[in-house]
Amino acid sequence: MAIFLGQTLFPGISISVMRYIAPFTLLFILISNFCYGQTARSIRVKAGEDVAQAYSPQGFYRFPQFGKATLHFRSGIRSSSVLFNYNMLSGALQFISPKGDTLDLANAADLDSVAFEKTTFIFNNGFFEIVSQSDSIRLLKKVVLSSQYEDIGAYGRPNPTGSITNIKEISVRGAVYSLIVNQDIVLTEDVTWFLMRAPAGMIKANKTNLLKMLPAEKQGKTETYLKQNKISFQQENDLKRLFEAIRG
């Protein structure tokens, strides 16, 4: 960081003006660093509407239906005797009990991974979906949902002093039902991308980290691809194309 004393940083801009510009510049840098490798989208749900259905046709579940899955525990034990689904709101792996109840898997911390028919999740203090893989490097996706409630004030307008809280829900036989209240809700979906290569841990997905992970013979080819193609490390389709190029 450069410090300028007794002179202007740009011609025609005084130190007094720069005193106001500097905080905004610093704020921009902080926001840029925080958002690197992360995207977010917001959905406004009107009072009385079903929040889960506003998010997706299958509600807050990753898959439309509960299905068979193979559980790989760190002890090596595997299980696939019941039907599972991943709840993106609670971040829990859920299953349907013999009585038909929807329950959270109690010993999730003992898991190494969960393999559905076409999708696999890694457990590392939470579930991360494997989106692509090349040269033993895995591209992982983490989705976090949060919500902001706003009371409906005068003339039916949202009260801007709404507080941050979690969506209240109940689960019955695999379906999620939200409690409908007289509040507008802003549902925010944060998606963060990570890279992982065993036995090392996860790191944020970016150009520098990817090149460090790749074997020497793939680094030059990948760097050339990144120069010739506009790739965003925040966009799923771009990242998939990048991993396809690395595999090729």
Tens digits of per-residue pLDDT, 88-106? 999 999 999 999 999 999 9
Comparison of pLDDT for 196 and 23, the residue scoring more: 196
Asked whether residue 9 is domain-assigned, the answer is no
Residue 225 counted as domain residue = no
Mean pLDDT of the chain: 79
Give the whole-number percent of the chain exceeding pLDDT 70. 71
Helix (H), strand (E), coil (C) string for 1-16: CCCCCCCCCCCCCCHH
Question: Per-residue pLDDT for 6 more than 60?
Answer: no
Domain membership of residue 162 (yes or no) is yes
H helical segments located in the chain: 15-35, 51-55, 207-213, 216-228, 236-247
Q: Is the pLDDT of residue 135 over 90?
A: no
0.85 surpassed by pTM: no
Instruction: Report yes or no on 70 lying in a domain.
Output: yes
Q: Compute the CA torsion angle 113, 72, 108, 237 (nearest 10 deg).
A: 20
The CB-side HSE value for 38 (13 A sphere, CA atoms) comes to: 16
Q: Which two tokens stand for residue 97?
A: 């009990």
Q: Which residue has the tokens 């329950």?
A: 103
pLDDT at 143 over 70: yes
**Which tokens go with 211?**
């090149």
Euclidean distance between CA atoms 135 and 113, whole angstroms: 19
Helix (H, G, I), strand (E, B) or coil at 34: helix
Instruction: Quote the number of domains for the chain.
Output: 1
Q: What pLDDT score was predicted for residue 5?
A: 33
Q: Which residue has the higher pLDDT, 150 or 54?
A: 54
Q: Cα dist. 226→70, 122, 192 in Å?
A: 36, 27, 20
DSSP code for 180: P
Cβ(195)–Cβ(213) under 8 Å? yes
Q: Is the pLDDT of residue 25 over 50?
A: no
Written as one string, the DSSP assignment of 29-89 is HHHHHHHTTEEEEEEEE-TTS-HHHHH-TTTTBSSSS-EE-EEEETTS-EE-SSEEEEETT
Between CA 239 and CA 39 the distance in angstroms is 13
> Quick check: is 209 in a domain?
no
Domain that holds residue 102: 37-203
- pLDDT band with cut points at 50, 70 and 90 for residue 202: very high
Average pLDDT over residues 142-170: 61
Residue 69 in any domain: the answer is yes
DSSP SS3 for 239: helix
The most confident of the ranges 15-24, 25-34, 144-153 is 144-153
Q: Would you place residue 40 in the very low, low, confident or very high pLDDT band (cuts 50, 70, 90)?
A: confident
81 or 22, which is more confident = 81
76 occurs within a structural domain = yes
Has residue 29 been placed in a domain? no
Give me the pLDDT at residue 182, please: 65
Quick one: pLDDT band at residue 171, thresholds 50, 70, 90? very low
Six-digit token string for 160? 């801007």
Going by pLDDT thresholds of 50, 70 and 90, the confidence category of residue 29 is very low
Contact present, 168 and 182 (Cβ < 8 Å) = no
Q: Which of 18-22, 154-158, 164-168, 231-235 holds the top average pLDDT? A: 231-235
Question: Could you give the CA distance from residue 119 to residue 132 in angstroms, rounded to a whole number?
Answer: 10
